[in-house]
Amino acid sequence: MTRLILASGSPYRRDLLQRLGIEFECCSPDIDETPLSSESAEDLTMRLAKTKAHALAERYPAHLIIGSDQVALLDGEPVSKPGNHAEATIQLRRSSGRCITFSTALCLLNTANGRLQLAVERFHVTFRKLSDDSIERYLHAERPYDCAGSFKMEGLGISLFASLRGDDPNSLIGLPLIRLCDMLANEGINLP
């Protein structure tokens, strides 16, 4: 069986891929993630997902390499990882009663034959009206400072939402597993 490489240092993506019960290695590629001038957020994620996979191709010449990248947008503006409590508070206040759209690009590169599969999964998160007290309680409970949008959907963050729309909720965490299963099947790896 072809060996599988996850081109990421993200513990969230690693944990998601472990759900599939297949062996893989993680290797974080060193790439420049600076947006190109006039590049849309979605184009940026697709380019970075491909770049991450290609960056490891020489090191792993007979492997399947998974690259993924994500952008979150609120009113067309990127929503980043807050990094601290104050920034997370600002993000959640801005998101209150509104919708953030996540676009997660997924690339699977077969380095043995050069075949590349690429897709983008969109997921829409509509927040409840959030009071300052509810924001404080949530941030103190979960501390999602390393998560775009200042929440962990897989944890208590679910309590912040009015609705979710999209095909694969895993794409919110950074790795669309449903689409990945299809891509792996195209490479002869069938799950379960």
Of 15, 43, 69, 133, catalytic: 69
Give the separation between CA 156 and CA 112, rounded to whole angstroms: 42
Cβ atoms of residues 135 and 154 within 8 Å: no
Give the separation between CA 84 and CA 110, rounded to whole angstroms: 38
- What is the DSSP annotation of 57-88? TTTSTTEEEEEEEEEEEETTEEE----SHHHH
69 is catalytic: yes
Q: What angle do CA 15, 20, 23 make, to 5 degrees?
A: 85
Active site residue ranges: 69
